Amino acid sequence: MFAARQVTSSVFGAAQRRAFSASAASLSKVAVLGAGGGIGQPLSLLLKLNPRVTELSLFDIRGAPGVAADVGHVNTKSVVTGYEPEQNGGIAAALKGAEIVLIPAGVPRKPGMTRDDLFNTNASIVRDLSKSVAEHCPNANILIISNPVNSTVPITAEVLKKAGVYNPKRLFGVTTLDVVRASRFISQHKGTDPANENIVVIGGHSGETIVPLLSQSGYNLEGQALADYVKRVQFGGDEVVQAKGGAGSATLSMAMAGARFAESLLKAAQGEKGVIEPSFVDSPLFKDQGVTYFSSNVELGPEGVEKIHPIGEVTAHEQKLIDVCVGQLKGNIEKGVKFVAENP
Ligand SMILES: NC(=O)C1=CN([C@@H]2O[C@H](COP(=O)(O)OP(=O)(O)OC[C@H]3O[C@@H](n4cnc5c(N)ncnc54)[C@H](O)[C@@H]3O)[C@@H](O)[C@H]2O)C=CC1
Ligand SMILES: O=C([O-])CC(=O)C(=O)O
């Protein structure tokens, strides 16, 4: 459905659905926590369209059963169930047997806010949902969408560690949207087909922690053009927040990015080789500088993270961006770890 490098109109292709359902013998339950929200709804729809998903479990503190009833009428085979805390067995039933759990639960930004301004509300939401994951589906792949991702991923890791079920290969901060944007923006600049662009983006998921490595795709923008491009990738989220004027942040492009990541995990779980996605994971790349999580290209396999790719060659300008990123990330990660230590 979604190629890691491109999305095609084959999302609706009957022939492809038949081919997948023949090959996708395994049962794949996918759960969305926060399914009633701006991201959760279109994400649920895209997952319903994915023939690799056999069961779709939609949980929210409000609204998920309605979304499930609606999405459940789409004529694909997967079974959809909606859950609220006191309905259909609540979060325990929603999570039981899940292979992938996507978490877009939490508040979005309004103009003038940074992602870190969401910490006070979203940290406890992610902590509590992570406790439920630890209890009900500790072996699932966990995809954290809720912001600030640079801190919410460490929060989930700390919760899983406390529960004795932390598997660094199965925890992913979703930074796919940064690559989607970086690829789209360069295609607009150069007049190329965005489907053929796959700009490497590393670091984290907020402002200056987002580092596009344009040189690795053979592009050499310079001066103001380079500065403008980097700024647009780093602050692409703000562009949407401003345009929505208080009604939230990116939801549709994020749903596409989340669905693409889930599709890549399912492909890898079903034996496909060479599936690569960028993701914010427990990473050795900058551990010597105290940065325990970092986003870079990650090869996925049946066990989750199979290989973390090295950063590779960078220009002097990109190195400066990385230095700024690493300094900021360290603080974001420590904030998440400290939160769980002080608020278990
Ligand atoms: N990683 C990324 O690239 C991106 C992340 N985001 C983040 O995703 C999050 C969600 O954004 P939207 O969907 O636009 O927000 P939204 O407010 O439209 O939806 C959030 C949903 O979460 C639900 N929720 C709240 N607490 C919950 C709990 N304890 N359990 C289950 N559900 C709960 C709400 O009821 C609501 O339906 C935000 O934190 C936003 O910043 C947004 C865009 C991109
Ligand atoms: O900007 C935001 O707050 C939402 C987000 O993470 C993005 O769009 O990349």
Q: According to the 3-state scheme, what is the secondary structure of 167-232?
A: CHHHEEECCHHHHHHHHHHHHHHHCCCHHHCCCEEEECCCHHHEEEEHHHHCCCCCHHHHHHHHHH
pLDDT, position 144: 98
**How much distance in Å is there from the Cα of 102 to the middle of ligand 1?**
11
What percentage of the chain exceeds 70 in pLDDT?
A: 92
40 is in an annotated binding site: yes
The pLDDT of residue 11 is 42
- Let me know how long the chain is: 344
Ligand nearest to the CA of 238: 2
The ipTM estimated for the assembled molecules is: 0.99
- Main-chain dihedrals φ then ψ at residue 55, nearest 5 degrees: -140, 130
- Is 215 assigned to a binding site? no
Residue 262 Cα to ligand 1 midpoint, Å, equals 17
Residue 2: which pLDDT band, with cuts at 50, 70 and 90? low
pTM across the whole model: 0.94
Q: Of 37, 103, 99, 109, give the one whose Cα is nearest residue 67.
A: 37
Q: Report pLDDT digits (tens) over 61-92.
A: 999 999 999 999 999 999 999 999 998 999 99
Q: Let me know if 282 is exposed, middle or buried by CB neighbors in 10 A (0-12, 13-18, 19+).
A: buried
Work out the number of other CB atoms within 10 angstroms of the CB of residue 83.
24
Tell me what percent of the residues of the chain surpass a pLDDT of 90: 91
pLDDT value, residue 20: 47
pLDDT at 127: 98
CATH fold of 4-175 reads Rossmann fold (3.40.50)
Q: Which amino acid is at 335?
A: K
Predicted confidence band of residue 27 (pLDDT cuts 50, 70, 90): confident
Cα–Cα nearest to 339, from 178, 122, 164: 122
The two structure tokens encoding residue 112: 């003038």
Q: Would residue 189 show up in a list of annotated catalytic residues for this protein? A: no
Amino acid occupying residue 120: N
Domain segments of the chain as ranges: 4-175, 176-249+275-342
- Distance between CA 147 and CA 122 in Å, rounded? 7
The mean per-residue pLDDT over the stretch 54-66 comes to: 98
pLDDT at 18 over 60: no
pLDDT digit string, tens, across residues 89-118:
999 999 999 999 999 999 999 999 999 999
What are the tens digits of pLDDT across the range 228-240?
999 999 999 999 9
Residue 216 C-alpha to ligand 1 middle, in angstroms?
33
Identify the residue whose C-alpha is closest to ligand 2 atom 5: 237
Residue-level pLDDT at 23: 44
Catalytic residue among 73, 189, 205, 309: 205
The β-bridge relationship of strands 100-103 and 29-33 is parallel
pLDDT digits (tens, 9 = 90+) for 285-314: 999 999 999 999 999 999 999 999 999 999
Structure tokens at 320: 């400066």
217 is in an annotated binding site: no
Average pLDDT of span 124-130: 98
Contact 169, 220 (CB under 8 A): no
Q: Is the CB of 126 under 6 A from ligand 1?
A: no
Query: Does domain 176-249+275-342 sit in CATH 3.90.110.10?
Result: yes
Tell me how far the alpha carbon of residue 310 is from its chain's centroid. 20
